[in-house]
Amino acid sequence: MRLSHESRSMRRHEKICLLSLLLGSGLAVTPARAVPSFAQQTGQPCAACHVGAFGPQLKPFGREFKLYGYTASEGKGWYPPIAMTIQTSFTNTQAAQPGGAARWFAPNNNVALDQSSLYYAGRFNSTSGAFIEMEYDGIARQLQIGNVDIRKIKEFTLFGIDAVGGMTVNNNPSVQDLWNSTPAWGFPYNASALAPTPAAATLIDGGLGQRVAGLGLYAMWDDSIYTEVDAYRGLGRDVLNATGIVPVAGAPGIDGFVPYWRIAWQKNLDRHFFEIGTYGLHANIFPNGDTTAGTPDSYTDTAADINYQFIVNPKSVVSDMLSVHGTLIHEAQSLGSSSALLGTNNYNTLDTFRVDASYSFAATVTPTIQYFRTSGTPDAVQYGIAGGRPNSSGFVTEIAYVPWGKPDSPFQFMNIRLAAQYVSYLEFNGTAHGAAANNALYLSLWTALHF
Amino acid sequence: MPTRFNVTTAIAILALASAATAAWATVTQIDQVGQKFSKTSLSVKTGDHVQYINQDDVQHNIKVIDADDDEDDKGLQKPGETIDVLFAKTGRFTVRCAIHPRMKMSVEVQ
């Protein structure tokens, strides 16, 4: 199941108390992902960049805008690009959750202010820009830093072919990615933090979000070949406290640098867009920051991804559009330290596969379906579940309605997205028996404003 | 009297020459479709015009950039609008949209 990457990863690590650095606020919602200040800066409607006229799913121009460091502008001068989003929701789970879905919430049928976010999202000048999010997590009732991606770009030629390169400073591996197949900006674009989520997730699947800071260099050559390398460091406990990402106990456990890589090939035809690529990271982590075992655990995540988009009428930003994303992540866990200190296996593997397809009708109504599956080596201590099998699978189906964000919309300063999402499990934490009890209906209203 | 005749004649000759030049100047049309130019390169002669026709349903903003990186900003171009660019001097120019970074073409003026 791939609900909120962060909440899922958080829960896994909370249960087992292995990685104190990854322990967070308990339940976190997916960061908000719609920034109308970009629309204000470019003079383009939301639908020019975003599939379905709202949210993080990007069209070719949206990827281009991000690649060029959020700098594109209609030239009306600089102004502080400040925007705001608010998410509210209703969550129903098939079975009630005894003790409450979360602190302050009932066992079932919860209405919530999921999240309210304030953004600096736009250009500094013609070669640099940023996406910086500060959010109020209405589930954990906590103010905290969200996703950050600050860029500086330069155009150049290589072998006589145009290229654009840049530098990114960010706090979540894959938040800087252009495609919606990688974890940070993948489907579902918002999800309930009040529904059960599987215990197991790979580290790259949100486990480091807001807990690291990194510097990366990237380049796109000939609008086809993309390469990127980043190096992250774990943030200190004081920094995590200051930014609202509160560790529960122990010292941060990330040892040294965390390298992240990304290679992709894309082909952008008039109506068809293809991408295939690979990404991954390697992290050394002391469980609970405990260095007594000598060597840290190591996690190596290696992933492949694909994207395909078909634009029915390229002349129109409100054209119907088919989008398909897929990714396969393989994680190798060498748990020497955890094995000695806590009794986990010495070595585990964990694999996650996801594929989703959406069809956007006139950038207004967008149904999406996703299949997800995570499976791996049984390890009751590592995953904190009876039997230890980390296997979960199922479907997410969603239909979203966005009335505005198009060229003729009456409100250019705001947009809304109404969505109904249903998560159904075939298997949950290693068992098919009773898996459906975790199924969840999530109704959400997502509002975006710029100032 | 002879002087008056000469001035009148000179003006007439200049007017004719000017009209002839205008008549010989060619106009090339470039479509802006799907946030791309219909051509990525073009060769024209001094005095030729290029008309950029926005067939998208979003606005563009054409800039003509010379070899010294000096920009001539043609301003916002709404859907359906045509921007006429006169290439009055020789050289190599880059034409691009300020809003859509990959939307660019080169124009060689001879």
CATH number at A260 reads 2.40.160.10
Yes or no, beta carbons of A315 and B79 under 8 Å apart? no
Nearest CA in chain B to A45: B58
Nearest chain B CA: its distance from A28 CA (Å): 35
Phi then psi for A271, rounded to 5 degrees?
-115, -15
Does B34 sit within 8 Å of A270, measured CB to CB?
Answer: yes
**pLDDT 10s digits, A382-438:** 999 989 999 999 999 999 999 999 998 887 778 999 999 999 999 999 999 999 999
Q: Which chain B residues are within 8 Å of A318, Cβ to Cβ?
A: 57
Q: With bands split at pLDDT 50, 70 and 90, how would you rate the model's confidence at A6? A: very low
Cβ-based contacts of B61 with chain A (< 8 Å): 43, 74-75
Cβ contact, residue pair A43, B59, below 8 Å:
yes
Contacts of B55 in chain A (CB under 8 A): 315
pLDDT digits (tens, 9 = 90+) for A335-362: 999 999 999 999 999 999 999 999 999 9
Residue A126: closest CA among A161, A159, A88, A152: A152
Contact partners, residue B88, CB within 8 Å, separation at least 6:
B46, B47
Residue A4 has pLDDT above 70, yes or no: no
Instruction: Please list every residue in chain B whose beta carbon sits closer than 8 Å to the beta carbon of residue A166.
Output: none
Interface touch B56/A315, C-beta < 8 Å = yes
Are A64 and B98 inside 8 Å of each other by CB? no
B43 contact A CB<8A? no
User: What pLDDT score does A432 carry?
Assistant: 96
Q: Which residue of A has its CA nearest to B58?
A: A44
% of chain A beyond a pLDDT of 70? 91
E strand or H helix that includes residue A102: none
> What was the pLDDT predicted at A289?
83
Q: What's chain B's average pLDDT?
A: 86
CA dist A216 and A22 (Å) reads: 22
Give the pLDDT score at A270. 83
Closest chain B residue to A126, measured at CA = B98
Q: Using the beta-carbon criterion (under 8 Å), do B58 and A74 form an inter-chain contact?
A: no
Distances (CA, A) of B10 to A22, A36, B6, B21, B30: 86, 61, 6, 16, 38
Contact A64 B102 (CB under 8 A): yes
Could you tell me if B2 lies within 8 Å of chain A, comparing CB atoms?
no
Q: Do B59 and A318 touch (CB under 8 A)?
A: no
**Partner residues linked to A127 by β-bridges:** none
pLDDT given at position A46: 93
Q: B58–A44: do the CB atoms touch at under 8 Å?
A: yes
Residue A29 or A44, more confident: A44
Q: Is A63 helix (H, G, I), strand (E, B) or coil?
A: helix
Total domains in the fold of chain A = 1
ipTM above 0.85, yes or no: no
pTM of the full structure: 0.88
Mean pLDDT is lowest, of A128-142, A408-422, B73-87, for: A408-422
Domain of A279 in residue numbering reads as: 5-450
Helix ranges (H only) for A57-124 are: 60-67
Write down the pLDDT at residue B18.
53
All domains of chain B in start order, with CATH: 26-109 (2.60.40.420)
Mean pLDDT of A117-121: 95
What's the N-to-C CA distance of chain B in angstroms?
43
Q: Which residue has the higher pLDDT, A69 or A13?
A: A69
- Provide the pLDDT for residue B91: 95
Using CB atoms, pick whichever of B34, B61, B79 lies closest to residue A74: B61
